[in-house]
Amino acid sequence: MINDVVRVRFAPSPTGYLHVGGLRTALYNYLFAKHNNGVFVLRIEDTDRNRYVEGAVENLISTMKWNGLGYDEGPEVGGEYGPYFQSQRLEIYNKHVNELIAKGNAYRCFCSAERIQKLREEQQVQKLQAKYDKHCLNLTKEEIENKIQAGEQFVIRLNVPANQRIIIEDIVRGNVEFNSDTVDDQILIKSDGFPTYHLANVVDDHLMKITHVIRGEEWLSSTPKHVLLYDFLGWEKPKFAHLPLLLNPDKSKLSKRQGDVAVEDYQKKGYLKEALINFVALLGWNAGDDVEIYEIEQLIEKFSLERVNKAGAVFNVEKLDWLNFEHLKKKPNAEILIMLKEELKHSKYAEINFSDEYLLNVIDSMKERVNFVKEFIDKSFYYFESPTEFDEKVIQKSWKEDTPQQLTELRSAFEKIDNPKKEDFENALRSTAEKLNVGAGKLIHPLRLAVSGTGQGPGLFDLLYTLGKEEVIKRINTALETIKPN
């Protein structure tokens, strides 16, 4: 191996948001590094200046921090193999590309965009693979010097040898074989002097002592070019692992057309980082057991590249919702309280001061009924404001002619209790039902409607206890005045 210590890298381009596919690549690299007591490197591949988006690097780093994927080397952290921005490493790439030219493994190409386009069109008509025809490979040294002196623009291309077997040893896919005749003379340095991904990532992976290259399946077809570069430069190759595609439910490639693909979109929607990490980890990997709920420490302990699948992984939002429910349910109420208070700050109830004790009671009663923290507010608005409207269907079903008289009796029973606990409300209701010679349900359903405006929600006595005696009585009075069944 290149190095005794496992060293992996996540190397995104700052072209916008962090895609969930990028998050999975980062996560698998992180898990593999931590499982093997290795090093996780973040490197910014910012050599495509046309696609560079201002602020994308900062967004990327903050999104990774939110997900808990701390890196050991990279921007803001440093490390002995920097700089970690490729745009700051141009001299390094030029040195190595000049070495390739001197060996005959790369050459300058002065062909115009028009000639390349024409060549592509001719190949299309003849149903040939689109690839460069090595037109500039045979230019003499003098011709090259004259063109450079005349200010002609050029790129530098890889000189791919004819009819060679290129074998890639892939941890996920086994041995994958290519014939070099199917590999284009890839551009290594563009006319603006910046390297392409292919040159820069090979040079950087070698100099940064990367032992394992873990990346998406879409890079597999480019890997023969990378293998050739390692061979031409006389370098030991890292181990490769190409991860399966992420798919929409209809098995098409995951795209924004069918739903959110940016990690920050899921963050804004209120998904917990623990749930998102758990979900993304299972997109193409399993530990070989029936476990589906994982904390990050368990993922680190169990992760291996040998358990990554070849087949594409379907992105199922319903499963993500379920995982969010499960992770939220596991959280201590005190932790949920902090998040709920933050949600309330951005709600219409921001100016109301709810005590921590009150909100903890709300959490306790609703925890099994919500997928997201914001649903503590959305699904139980009656904890934050008195109902002014009452569900018409519940009125028709539960509010009978004798209901006002029965609720009046119940109100009197409640008024007699001092500092009622949950069981005090229940005892008062059941004794009132007995006194009226009716089933408890005859009181429970209209009482729930009176205090919440709806026919469903948490346990009724949890609700009454949380609201408190005075608020319950006030709401019964409002319902008695407001509800007029047809």
State whether the Cα torsion 314-24-309-246 is positive or negative.
positive
CA distance 158 to 282: 38
267: part of which helix (H) or strand (E)? helix 263-268
Separation of alpha carbons 459 and 157, rounded Å? 71
* Class of residue 334 by CB neighbours under 10 A (exposed 0-12, middle 13-18, buried 19+): exposed
Q: Where are the alpha helices (DSSP H) in 36-89?
A: 56-66
DSSP-derived secondary structure for 100-163: HHHHTSEEEE---HHHHHHHHHHHHHTT-------TTTT--HHHHHHHHHTT---EEEE-PPSS
Amino acid at 289: D
Q: What angle is formed at CA 412 by the lines to CA 407 and CA 418, rounded to 5 degrees?
A: 125
- C-alpha 123/C-alpha 184 separation (Å) is 13
Q: How far apart are CA 353 and CA 341, in angstroms?
A: 10
Q: Exactly one of 65, 95, 256, 341 is catalytic; which is it?
A: 256
256 in active site: yes
As a whole number of angstroms, the distance between CA 89 and CA 83 comes to 7
d(CA 307, CA 171): 10
Picking from 473, 410, 408, 480, the residue whose alpha carbon sits closest to that of residue 440 is 410
Q: What is the DSSP string of 379-404?
A: TTGGGTS--SS--HHHHHHH--TTHH
Measured distance CA(188)–CA(15) in Å, rounded: 20
Name the nearest CA neighbour of 310 among 413, 220, 373. 220
Residues assigned a catalytic role = 256
